[in-house]
Structure 1
């Protein structure tokens, strides 16, 4: 099991990206959360089997057709009890 934290930069707020990440994270049975940050970026924490976490990253990089990802920062993140991947407000 791994846990990754991604900060997504670009046109990532107001384009349905959080919902997109939540839906795909749930399909992959991942734990974690996705939330908007005050600087206009989006934070994603995804925890689960390595293959599934990497698949979610690939899906995020492809985008939802409305978002425009300009940069992504990736860090390892502590394993925790996050519950199913959800949107935090």
Structure 2
């Protein structure tokens, strides 16, 4: 069985109104990760994603930079419990 890890990311800066969620979802799908991404009322973006450790690390690196339309000030990551039955990636 493949090892999986799950992370919750809170990304702040200019990350709403710039397509951040859609770019993040596209990147996660490209990496084959599962999870979701959504805007928070305080202007941050929250993302929960899981997959093999190396691919999760790639997603974390991308979130620290974001798309060219965004200005990421901070990306904070927390470990989460892996969800065995999760499939696909969605934008909330």
Return the offset for 1:82.
3.3
The question of 1:40 aligning with 2:33 is answered no
Q: State the 4+ residue runs in structure 1 displaced beyond 6 angstroms.
A: none
RMSD over aligned Cα atoms: 1.0
Unaligned runs of 5+ in 2: none
**Structure of greater Rg:** 2
Count of residue pairs brought into register by the alignment: 88
Distance 1:39-1:82 versus aligned 2 partners, 3 A rule = farther
Residues 63-83 of structure 1: CA distance to partner in whole angstroms, max 9, x if unpaired?
211111111111001211332
Aligned equivalents of 1:74 and 1:56: distance in 2?
Answer: 11
Which residue of structure 2 aligns with residue 27 of structure 1?
30
